[in-house]
């Protein structure tokens, strides 16, 4: 028997066929209908592509019921999905598609015009043109392809920032998602009745985990519309109205809710499990959440996209001072954390080092990018006897006296901002080399203010508003610098390189 996520989904369909699988506004879809539409779309995918199976298929849709149908259909077809952000500039979307070369792209009436000239029209499927009632199938016709899909085959590609201006496509497989989902269910006693308040974009790994929860555990996904992200009160009202029991959010929105003291008015009585990841959650604001909803289990998770969701977790079961960082805890199941010093030896207690990861959670690498893969996924320096790959995160961490891992920051130009991993060097490359807006520039991230800051020389008499406008045509909104600072000359260190440390100090 082959093992993949569809095996779990098939069992879920048998158990809860009439249960709501996805709720989107006033529209919902049952597990049986979701399965039926996904299977029929999978036949369209199969008939539209002559490239076989285990190929990337792109999805260019807003996060909605159709995007979830598309992702599951792609898996049924024996391929793997790559969700694209519809708010990202088309130049960046084209760069991604040129690198990944998806076999097909699924979109809808709203977005199909944007794709003209970017990808061959014969490779585009308009999901709104699918006549589900006219498509007939036999179960064995659908499941036949799955006989060739095993747990180490890709499930999805998630794109992350790249220093050369072209995003990297991280390839994640069925096994690592199955492993993480089973760990989550067992560790947090997740029941079959969870209702997930889904806030993350479909391009996030958090969304893919929510999809796994739906398929493997029969969880209901409540899609929180993107257009209310700026309205925390409405979000909390939705959670209460739909009796949401589980959320997995990036802390930014949670900080806003705490700062507005909204949990006093909306105490979220049904919320049982609260996960957060993607960036540092200030402890002062976290404590407000914990004090207002003491009936919930809170967990801080950590892990870059290259580690299939997260590799460490910390269930917050003790009081934390407002000025005390929330630990990232200990390794998840089937994962080992190595914190290495400059000599590639394990650090002592309270000694800082680079956090590295080994185990089944590691991604398969970067799609169509063996050079970048070889730089990030390397031989374990502690093991000279046989091949063993680890991922070097570039994050600095230490182990405290309690044996807990504490995140300390980055040692390079890769940062986490609003839940996205951003390569600051990519922003610099776009500004200097692609758009040629300035002769020299350096991008700094202020962790305290959560701001991307651009220091630059000689802007060729271009105004800041015009610079921001041009950058927005190439980079998504979350990567556009918020602060622009012109200097006569960027500071240099003794090696003649830009002194980033000095600029960081200047930015505070």
Residue 241 pLDDT: 97
The pTM (predicted TM-score) of the whole model is 0.88
Gap between the Cα atoms of 220 and 238, Å rounded: 14
Domain ranges for the chain, please list them: 5-223, 335-410, 414-507
Residue 110 has pLDDT above 90, yes or no: yes
Q: Show Cβ contacts of residue 191 under 8 Å, excluding neighbours closer than 6 positions.
A: none
Residue 292 has pLDDT above 70, yes or no: yes
For the chain, the first-to-last Cα distance in angstroms comes to 58
Residue 139 has pLDDT above 90, yes or no: no
Q: Which residue bears the tokens 């009632």?
A: 133
Q: Show Cβ contacts of residue 24 under 8 Å, excluding neighbours closer than 6 positions.
A: 64, 65, 223
Q: Which residue bears the tokens 């807003």?
A: 62
Dihedral angle of Cα 87, 229, 288, 322, to the nearest 10 degrees: 20
Residue 182 pLDDT: 95
Gap between the Cα atoms of 45 and 275, Å rounded: 35
The pLDDT tens digits for 191-232 are 889 999 999 999 999 999 999 999 999 999 999 998 887 899
CA distances from 66 to 81, 86, 368, 414 (A): 13, 14, 28, 33
Judge: domain 5-223, CATH 3.40.50.300: no
Judge: domain 414-507, CATH 3.30.300.30: yes
Residue 496 pLDDT: 64
Residue 166 has pLDDT above 90, yes or no: no
Gap between the Cα atoms of 85 and 308, Å rounded: 19
Average pLDDT over residues 254-275: 95
Confidence tier at 1 by pLDDT (50, 70, 90): low
Gap between the Cα atoms of 84 and 105, Å rounded: 10
Residue 165 has pLDDT above 80, yes or no: no
Residue 64 has pLDDT above 90, yes or no: yes
CA distances from 303 to 280, 308, 326, 348, 453 (A): 12, 8, 15, 22, 25
Residue 494 pLDDT: 58
Residue pair 335/359 in contact by the 8 Å Cβ criterion = yes
The pLDDT tens digits for 403-450 are 999 998 776 677 878 888 788 888 988 898 788 898 888 998 988 888
The pLDDT tens digits for 76-86 are 999 999 999 99
Q: Are 5-223 and 335-410 equal in CATH topology?
A: no
Q: How many CB atoms lie within 10 A of CB 371?
A: 7
Q: What is the domain class of 335-410 according to CATH?
A: mainly beta
Task: Read off φ and ψ for residue 480, nearest 5 degrees.
Answer: -80, 125
Average pLDDT over residues 256-276: 95
């Amino acid at each position: 028997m082959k093992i993949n996520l569809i095996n779990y989904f098939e069992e879920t369909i048998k158990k809860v066929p009439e249960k709501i699988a996805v709720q989107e506004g006033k529209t919902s879809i049952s597990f049986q209908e979701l399965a039926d539409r996904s299977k029929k779309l999978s036949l369209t995918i199969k008939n539209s592509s002559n490239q076989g199976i285990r190929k990337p298929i792109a999805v260019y849709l807003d996060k909605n019921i159709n995007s979830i149908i598309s992702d599951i259909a792609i898996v049924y077809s024996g391929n793997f999905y790559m969700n694209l952000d519809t708010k990202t500039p088309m130049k960046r979307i084209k760069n991604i598609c040129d690198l990944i070369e998806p076999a097909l792209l699924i979109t809808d009436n709203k977005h199909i015009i944007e794709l003209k000239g970017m990808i061959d029209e014969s490779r585009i499927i308009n999901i709104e043109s699918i006549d589900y009632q006219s498509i007939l199938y036999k179960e064995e016709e659908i499941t036949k392809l799955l006989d060739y899909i095993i747990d180490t085959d890709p499930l999805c590609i998630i794109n992350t920032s790249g220093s050369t201006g072209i995003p990297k496509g991280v390839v994640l497989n069925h096994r690592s998602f199955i492993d993480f989902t089973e760990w989550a269910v067992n560790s947090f006693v997740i029941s079959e009745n969870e209702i997930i308040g889904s806030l993350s974009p479909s391009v996030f790994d958090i969304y893919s985990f929510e999809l796994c929860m739906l398929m493997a555990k029969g969880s209901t996904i409540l899609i929180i519309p993107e257009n209310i992200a700026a309205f925390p009160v409405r979000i909390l009202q939705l959670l209460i109205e739909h009796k949401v029991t589980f959320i997995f959010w990036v802390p930014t929105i949670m900080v806003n809710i705490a700062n507005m003291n909204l949990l006093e008015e909306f105490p979220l009585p049904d919320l049982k499990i609260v996960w957060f990841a993607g960036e540092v959650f200030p402890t002062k604001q976290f404590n407000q959440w914990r004090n207002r909803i003491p009936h919930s289990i809170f967990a801080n998770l950590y892990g870059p996209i290259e580690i299939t969701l997260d590799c460490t977790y910390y269930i917050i079961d003790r009081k934390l001072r407002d000025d005390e960082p929330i630990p990232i805890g200990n390794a998840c199941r089937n994962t080992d954390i190595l914190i290495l010093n400059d000599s590639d030896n394990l650090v002592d207690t309270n000694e800082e080092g680079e956090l590295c990861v080994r185990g089944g959670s590691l991604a398969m690498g970067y799609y169509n990018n063996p050079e970048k893969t070889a730089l990030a996924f390397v031989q374990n320096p502690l093991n000279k006897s046989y091949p063993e790959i680890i991922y070097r995160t570039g994050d600095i961490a230490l182990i405290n006296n309690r044996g807990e891992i504490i995140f300390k920051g980055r040692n390079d130009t890769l940062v986490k901002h609003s839940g996205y991993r951003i390569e600051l060097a990519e922003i610099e490359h776009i500004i200097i080399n692609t758009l040629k807006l300035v002769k020299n520039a350096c991008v700094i991230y202020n962790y305290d203010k959560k701001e991307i800051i651009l220091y630059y020389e000689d802007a060729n008499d271009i105004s800041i508003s015009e610079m921001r406008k041009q950058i927005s045509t190439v980079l998504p909104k979350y990567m556009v610098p918020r602060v622009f600072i012109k200097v006569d000359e960027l500071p240099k260190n003794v090696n003649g390189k830009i002194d980033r440390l000095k600029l960081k100090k200047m930015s505070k």
